[in-house]
Structure formats: C-alpha cells, structure tokens
C-alpha cells in the first residue's frame, strides 16, 4: 500500500460516526431509530432534543504513523482537527457555515459552496453511517417498540412513497435534496420543529381520564343554569347540526327541555352521554373552547360524556349509543380533544358496523339510522384519508340509502348527499391508489387510475351548487350566514385535499416524463393558491376544525415552498412568493389567537428562505448576463479596429473574463 492509499484510508476512518448519539450515551440508554434514513433517534424525538452523532476518535495505525513521519506541523494539526470528536447534527444549522448561507446556488455559479456541501452532515456517507448505527443498536425488543403508532412521524413522508395525507409531504430524501440546493439546513430544522409542535398537539396524553365511577362527580361539577343549557343546545343545532345532521331535533329537545330531564339523564346512560356531548359542542360557540388539549369549560362538560364512554362501548348496542359516540367523535375533531380523535372516530365506526347500519335493511326501519350511519362513515372516511389508512367500513359493503337532507340555510342543497358521495369517493381513491396493494401496481396502471380519480373528483365538484362549488369565488355577502361561508371553505378544502393527493401520485407515476410532471406540479401550486385565497375568511376560534384552520394552510405553504426552490426562475415564482407572504400573515394572526409562537415564526422563516433563495438566483443570473454583455461589446469595438495588436486583444479579453 503506497503513501497516498494510506492517507485515504486514514481520512476515511476519521469520517466515521459513533453508533449512539451524544444524548443517549450521556443517559446510558440504547440509541434507537425508527427507520434507516431517520435524522434523529426515538429518544431525542420524544424529548424534543437535539440528536447529535459525534465523530469517532480513530487512532492511527503504526503503519500510517510511520508512513507520515515528516508531515509538516500544519498538516498534522489539520489532521488532528479532522479526527477530533465533533458533534454533528444531521440536517442542522451547525453543520453549514455562514459562507454557505450567503453564497448563490451551486447549480448556477461555481463557488466554494460546492466543496462545502461535500462536508455537510446530510451527505450520503453520514446517512450510511447512521444506517449502520441503526443496524447495530436495535435489538428485537427495541425494534418492536419503534413501530408503535405513537412513535411514527406525523408530517414526514416515507421514502419513495406518496401518502394520501397532504400534510405528510417531505421525506428525509426530499429534505436532503432541498438542503443541498439551498446550501444550508435551516429548512430541515423548520420541518423538525413543525413535527415536534404537531406531535405535541395530537399526541398529548390524558392525565386524568374519567371512569364510569366518576360519572356522578363529573355531572355535579357542571353548574349550568337552564337558560345557559338552552343556549348551548340552540347553538348546536344552528352551527353543528347543519353540517352533521344525525339527530332528530324535535325528539332531542323534547327530552332536553322537559321537566323530567334528570330522570332521562339518570335512566339512560347513552342519552346522557349524547346530551352532554351536544352541550359541549354548543358551548364552543359561547367562548368555552380552548386551543390547548383537555382544557376549557367545554372540555369539563365533555368529561361527563367521556366518563360514560366505556358503558357505550360494552353496553347494549342502540341507535342512541351510536349517536352519542358520533357526537363525541365530532367533538374530537376540535383542538380540545384532538389527541383522542382517532379513538372516538374508530369506536363510532365499530358501533355502526356492529349495528349493521351499513345494510339497507337496518336503514329501512328508521331514517335516523341512515343519517347517523352516513355521518359516521363520512367522519371515518375523511379521518382515514387524511391520516393515510384504510377505512374500517368497506365502501363495497354499503347498501344503506342516503336520505334527502336539505341544508337548513340553503334549502335546495342536499348536503348529506354531497358529503356521503365525497366519503365514498375518497374511500375508492384510497384503495385504488394509496393502499398497500395499490403501491405494488405498475406506473402505467397508477396513471390510469389517477386520471379516473380526477374525473370522479370533477364530477363530484359539478354536483355542488355554484355558490359553494370549488373554483368559484366565495361571496360571503351573498351566502349571508357565517356557517354558510364556513361550509363553502370546508367544501373547497375537501376538493383541493384530494386534488393535491392525486397530483402527487401522478407526479410519482410520471417519472421520466418531465412535461407531465410539470403539469401536475403546476396543479399543486394552483391548489395551494386556491387554499390561501380564502384563509382570511377562516374564523380564528377554537370551534373551527384544526384541519381547516392549520392543516390545509400549512400544506399550501409546503407546496409553494417546494415549487419555488425547485423552479426559482419560473414565471409564476413571484406570484407564489406573494401567496407565501399572504399565508405567513395568516399564521401570524393565528399565533395571536392561539398564543403559539411557532405558528407565525415558522411560516415567516419559510418565506424568508424562499425569497432569499430567489433573490440569490436572480443576482447570480444578472451577474452572468452582465459579463456576457461586456464581452459582446468588447468584441464589437475591436471589430472596428482591425489593426489592433492581437496580444492586446487577448489581454483585454482576459481581464474581462477574470
């Protein structure tokens, strides 16, 4: 082995990383990762800590030492610095220098940034060392533990996989590519912070879950006057019932407002749970809600229903029990009980199938069965599509007819028909394009299925009245009531949510066809702008669904950012930057309402990174253009001076190039 090979071997050994991060080594616990390409371990992710992997201190072999006996002191010092244990955080700011942030993009102008990116922590060599550490640290027990749903990322997508969730957009590979394009890792750190913030909201643990034995205590803690209870019930039927029409208002109010209310509450646990869930939902419109999980007056009222939850699960299956769990599932869509949303929706679907509400025979007995089933199915289908999982109620096993249910604020609008048709459509789309079986299909078949799904989506859109139809401007002054405006926003977001998912899967299935891919990328930005155009109409109140208030605007921000970084010179880039500024302003207002600093700060940083990148690209192109123009003018001037000495011409030309 010659001297050069020895040096290369030593430098290669110095680039190795420890198999455990610094935090796990300090706590003397096993360092575990969920997936090979993950940038942080499970322990640091749970603790929301920086996950740093130090470089290994590798002693030089005697052969290597003898091969370099006469190295200059400076060279030896550099080698020692390179081999020192230096904390490196994959996809973190510490790994990119200030120079890398200020340089123009490396694919436009050759610069030292290209060499600097070779040492950035997102390099392939680092990822390979992390994969090796994953193999060496995960045992059978730990591997099983790492697969628990509570540990899975919320907004991070799997490598080479397209999820139906529009929020799960960036994968580790995508973050790596964008970070290399940008020349720094600020963007990857933003995604990490968003992941941590979202996880804290939807995976907040219940500290004191009420049991059936606590029902009397929980019920006594609700000190509501009869007049206030009546207002809450009225608000429920004005605000919630038009969207989820599954309760017979006349029959419910007949019991809720009767002098025998206490007898009904004590004699029927299912109706008692339904009653308090309705009160909790109605109270959200009387300043009783909260943006913090498991807090606020509405949550205290809902705890009465929650204390009866086990009785509903293990008790006798009745329509009232199904309606009670349905009302609880609707409350689970709000910020207050978002961490238990999946439990409530899943149980509602389970009770519906147990009662065979999906069968036409059951629905023929009572129209309330039909309405209750379709509300449950709509809730469960949307939840599954937005979280990337299959529905528990197969669409091909449904024969329950959809009853005609007009919208109280728009009598000619059969809203339940539109809602149910949407639920059936997204269930079919998920099975054909996003299920495990669908992902094994060829790209040609997936493209065909995507085109078919696009056609179904457009047909669904055309079935909606023009005042509420996506693609048409929302005229709030014409719609009148605020709940009509809210419903129009919800319908628009439903449409673009599916359109985004279909465009993404079409891009994935069109590998090699750049023209087709660009067409679907423009479809993504079009949906993003359509979402941002109506964010000013969204109420910044706790009763608004987080999916509308946060999920879809955040998805739109992701889409525009990705397109701008990949296409900084596109003709629509400046327009997209303006829309990014609009949504950043929206998140600033949301931060003021929620008192959550992350909402506005993170979105503002997205805009700053994108605008700075576009500015750098434009500056570098302007510099190149100016240099070319100077050379052209010099050549034209010299053409009129043929007697000029060629050596002088070459000297002048060389000075321009330099």
Q: Tell me what the mean pLDDT of segment 466-481 comes to.
A: 85
**R_g of the chain, CA atoms, integer Å:** 30
Tell me how crowded residue 269 is: count the other CB atoms within 10 A of its CB. 20
Tens-digit pLDDT profile for residues 451-463: 999 999 999 999 9
Q: Tell me what the mean pLDDT of segment 338-362 comes to.
A: 89
CA distance 579 to 562: 13
Q: Tell me what the mean pLDDT of segment 259-273 comes to.
A: 90
The answer to which of 82-91, 317-326, 492-501 has the lowest mean pLDDT is 82-91
Closest alpha carbon to 108 in 624, 608, 549, 578? 624
Note the pTM of the prediction, 2 decimals: 0.74
What angle (nearest 5°) sits at the alpha carbon of residue 36, between those of residues 32 and 38? 75
Element (H, E) at 88: strand 87-88
Tens-digit pLDDT profile for residues 280-295: 999 999 999 999 989 9
**What integer pLDDT is reported at residue 637 of this predicted model?**
45
Q: Tell me what the mean pLDDT of segment 123-128 comes to.
A: 37
Q: Tell me what the mean pLDDT of segment 618-634 comes to.
A: 62
48: left (phi over 0), alpha (psi -120 to 50) or beta: left
CA distance 551 to 543: 15
3-class DSSP assignment, residue 287: coil
Q: Do the beta carbons of residue 35 and residue 47 sit within 8 Å?
A: no
CA distance 188 to 624: 30
Measured in residues, the chain has a length of 658
Name the range with the highest mean pLDDT among 67-81, 95-109, 442-456, 479-493: 442-456
Closest alpha carbon to 103 in 569, 608, 617? 617
DSSP 106-139: TTTS--HHHHHHTTSTTSHHHHHHHHHHHHHH--
The secondary structure of 546-573, three-state, reads HHHHHHHHHHHHHHHHHHHHHCCCCCCH
| Phi, psi at 89, each rounded to 5° | -100, 115
**What integer pLDDT is reported at residue 171 of this predicted model?**
81
Centroid of chain to Cα 361: 40
Tell me how crowded residue 509 is: count the other CB atoms within 10 A of its CB. 23
**What integer pLDDT is reported at residue 211 of this predicted model?**
56
**What integer pLDDT is reported at residue 172 of this predicted model?**
84
Name the range with the highest mean pLDDT among 132-141, 170-179, 493-502: 493-502
Element (H, E) at 53: strand 53-54
| Residues in Cβ contact with 319 at an 8 Å cutoff, skipping those fewer than 6 apart | 355, 366, 368, 369, 372
Centroid of chain to Cα 229: 37
Name the range with the highest mean pLDDT among 265-269, 323-327, 631-635: 323-327
**Using 50, 70 and 90 to split pLDDT, how confident is the model at 370?**
very high
**What integer pLDDT is reported at residue 289 of this predicted model?**
92
| Phi, psi at 410, each rounded to 5° | -155, 90
Q: Copy the structure tokens of residue 598.
A: 């992350």
Tens-digit pLDDT profile for residues 397-433: 999 999 888 777 777 889 999 999 999 999 999 999 9
Q: What is the mean pLDDT of the chain?
A: 78
The answer to which of 3-12, 136-145, 446-455, 489-498 has the lowest mean pLDDT is 136-145
The answer to which of 154-163, 358-367, 472-481, 647-656 has the lowest mean pLDDT is 647-656
Q: Tell me what the mean pLDDT of segment 31-37 comes to.
A: 74
Q: Does pLDDT of 310 surpass 80?
A: yes
CA distance 340 to 333: 9
Q: Do the beta carbons of residue 332 and residue 345 sit within 8 Å?
A: yes
**Using 50, 70 and 90 to split pLDDT, how confident is the model at 599?**
low
Q: Do the beta carbons of residue 31 and residue 137 sit within 8 Å?
A: yes
Q: Copy the structure tokens of residue 447.
A: 């493209």
Q: Do the beta carbons of residue 439 and residue 430 sit within 8 Å?
A: no
**Using 50, 70 and 90 to split pLDDT, how confident is the model at 96?**
very low
pLDDT > 90 fraction of the chain, expressed in percent and rounded: 40
| Residues in Cβ contact with 551 at an 8 Å cutoff, skipping those fewer than 6 apart | 166, 167, 386
CA distance 169 to 162: 8
CA distance 371 to 433: 29
Helices (H), 146-225: 172-182, 186-202, 215-220
Element (H, E) at 87: strand 87-88
Q: Does pLDDT of 341 surpass 50?
A: yes
CA distance 253 to 422: 30
Q: Tell me what the mean pLDDT of segment 473-477 comes to.
A: 83
Q: Do the beta carbons of residue 285 and residue 235 sit within 8 Å?
A: yes
Q: Does pLDDT of 88 surpass 50?
A: no
pLDDT > 70 fraction of the chain, expressed in percent and rounded: 71
**Using 50, 70 and 90 to split pLDDT, how confident is the model at 99?**
very low
Q: Copy the structure tokens of residue 506.
A: 């079409």
Q: Helices 646-657 & 597-639, crossing angle to 10 degrees?
A: 180
**What integer pLDDT is reported at residue 108 of this predicted model?**
42
**What integer pLDDT is reported at residue 15 of this predicted model?**
44
Q: Please give the DSSP secondary-structure letter assigned to residue 55.
A: B
Q: Copy the structure tokens of residue 531.
A: 């979402």
Higher pLDDT, 195 or 401: 401
């Amino acid at each position: 082995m010659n001297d050069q090979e020895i040096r290369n071997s030593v430098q290669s050994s110095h680039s190795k990383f420890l198999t455990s991060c610094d935090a796990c080594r300090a706590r003397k616990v096993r360092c575990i990762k969920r997936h090979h390409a993950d940038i942080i371990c499970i322990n640091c992710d749970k603790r929301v800590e920086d996950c740093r992997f130090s470089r290994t201190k590798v002693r030089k072999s005697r052969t290597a030492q003898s091969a370099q006996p006469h190295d200059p002191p400076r060279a030896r010092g550099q080698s020692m610095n390179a081999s020192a244990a230096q904390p490196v955080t994959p996809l973190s700011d510490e790994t990119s220098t200030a120079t890398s942030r200020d340089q123009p993009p490396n694919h436009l102008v050759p610069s030292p940034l290209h060499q600097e990116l070779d040492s950035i922590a997102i390099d392939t060599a680092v990822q390979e060392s992390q994969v090796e550490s994953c193999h060496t640290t995960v045992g059978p027990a730990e591997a099983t533990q790492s697969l628990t749903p509570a540990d899975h990322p919320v907004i991070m997508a799997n490598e080479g996989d397209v999820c139906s969730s529009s929020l799960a957009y960036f994968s580790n590979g995508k973050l790596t590519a964008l970070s290399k394009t940008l020349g720094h890792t600020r963007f990857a750190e933003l995604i990490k912070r968003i992941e941590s913030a979202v996880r804290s909201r939807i995976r907040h643990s219940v500290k004191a879950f009420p049991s059936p034995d606590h029902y009397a205590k929980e019920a006594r803690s609700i000190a509501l006057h009869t007049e206030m209870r009546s207002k809450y019930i009225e608000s429920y039927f004005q605000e919630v019932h038009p969207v989820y029409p599954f309760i017979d208002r006349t029959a419910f109010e007949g019991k809720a407002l009767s002098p025998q209310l206490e007898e009904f509450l004590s004699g029927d646990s299912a109706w008692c749970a339904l009653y308090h869930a309705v009160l909790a939902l109605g109270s959200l419109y009387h300043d009783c809600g909260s943006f913090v999980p498991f807090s606020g007056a509405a949550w205290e009222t809902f705890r009465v229903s929650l204390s009866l939850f086990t009785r509903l699960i293990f008790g006798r299956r009745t329509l009232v029990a199904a309606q009670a769990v349905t009302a609880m599932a609707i409350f689970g869509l709000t910020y207050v009980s978002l961490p238990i949303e999946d439990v409530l929706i899943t149980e509602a679907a389970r009770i519906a199938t147990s009662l065979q509400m999906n069968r036409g025979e059951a629905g023929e007995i009572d129209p309330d069965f039909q309405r209750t089933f379709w509300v449950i199915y709509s809730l469960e289908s949307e939840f599954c599509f937005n979280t990337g999982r299959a529905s528990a109620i197969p669409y091909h096993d449904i024969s329950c007819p959809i009853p005609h249910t007009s919208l109280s604020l728009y009598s000619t609008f059969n809203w339940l028909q539109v809602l149910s048709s949407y639920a059936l459509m997204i269930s079919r789309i998920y099975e054909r394009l996003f299920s495990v079986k669908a992902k094994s299909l060829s790209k040609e078949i997936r493209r065909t299925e995507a085109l078919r799904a696009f056609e179904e989506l457009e047909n669904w859109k055309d079935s909606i009245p023009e005042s509420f139809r996506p693609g048409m401007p929302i005229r709030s002054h014409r719609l009148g009531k605020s709940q009509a405006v809210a419903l129009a926003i919800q319908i628009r977001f439903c449409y673009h949510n599916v359109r985004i998912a279909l465009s993404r899967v079409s891009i994935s299935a069109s590998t090699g066809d750049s023209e087709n891919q660009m067409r679907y990328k423009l479809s993504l930005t079009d949906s993003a702008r359509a979402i941002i155009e109506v964010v000013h109409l969204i109420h910044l109140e706790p009763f608004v669904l987080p999916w509308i208030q946060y999920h879809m605007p955040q998805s739109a921000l992701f889409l525009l950012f990705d397109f701008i970084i990949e296409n900084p010179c596109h003709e629509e880039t400046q327009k997209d930057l303006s829309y990014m500024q609009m949504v950043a302003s929206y998140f600033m207002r949301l931060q003021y309402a929620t008192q959550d600093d992350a909402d506005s700060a993170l979105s503002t940083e997205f805009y700053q990174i994108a605008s700075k990148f576009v500015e750098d690209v434009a500056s570098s192109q302007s510099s190149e253009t100016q240099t070319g123009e100077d050379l052209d003018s010099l050549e034209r001037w010299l053409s009129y001076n043929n007697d000029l000495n060629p050596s002088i011409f070459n000297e002048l030309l060389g000075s321009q190039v330099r």
